[in-house]
């Protein structure tokens, strides 16, 4: 794995009290546990609350986010950001490409169309070992990275709304 090159995010606009939605694909339970732990730790550090929705696989994540966002809005408790978590390991068929490209495309389309702070923490890897390199607890956990990415966009959104 290449060395992580992560610039520190300097915007510390207050997001405490904001609500986050985490939608996780539970295809690889042990890897998913680690990704979820990383994302939740970042949200707790930011003083945010969160809900977790579980789906079968990565292709279901974008639809579940859209459904949950709409339901929360209708209930008068909108989410301020969303985090997509999952793991897609390359197999012997073309299915890997379909799942990885289409889930990512749908997430990006939704983030732009809805002006949604969204972190994509769906791993796309060749092997289980590569997945664990990206899911193990600590600084390189991609669940935590996805939360930090969504937090950066949420902070930007809140800062620009004030100006």
Give me the active site residues, please: 95
DSSP letter assigned to residue 33:
H
C-alpha–C-alpha distance, residues 48 and 7, integer Å: 23
Q: Which two tokens stand for residue 158?
A: 């809140």
Q: Which two tokens stand for residue 44?
A: 């707790």
Q: Is 135 helix (H, G, I), strand (E, B) or coil?
A: helix
C-alpha–C-alpha distance, residues 119 and 33, integer Å: 17
C-alpha–C-alpha distance, residues 81 and 5, integer Å: 24
């Amino acid at each position: 794995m290449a060395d992580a090159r992560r610039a520190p995010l300097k915007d510390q606009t207050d997001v405490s009290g904001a609500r986050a939605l985490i939608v996780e694909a539970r295809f690889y339970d042990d890897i998913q546990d680690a990704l979820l732990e990383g994302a939740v730790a970042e949200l707790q550090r930011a003083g945010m609350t969160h809900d977790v929705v579980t789906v079968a696989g990565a292709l279901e994540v974008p639809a579940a986010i859209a459904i949950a966002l709409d339901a929360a809005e209708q209930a008068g408790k909108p989410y301020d950001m969303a985090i997509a978590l999952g793991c897609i390991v390359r197999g012997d068929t073309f299915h890997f490409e379909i799942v990885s490209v289409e889930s990512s495309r749908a997430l990006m389309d939704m983030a732009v169309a809805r002006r949604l702070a969204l972190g994509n923490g769906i791993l796309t890897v060749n092997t289980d070992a590569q997945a664990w390199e990206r899911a193990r607890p600590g600084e390189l956990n991609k669940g935590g990275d996805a939360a930090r990415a969504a937090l950066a966009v949420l902070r930007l959104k809140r800062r620009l709304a004030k100006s």
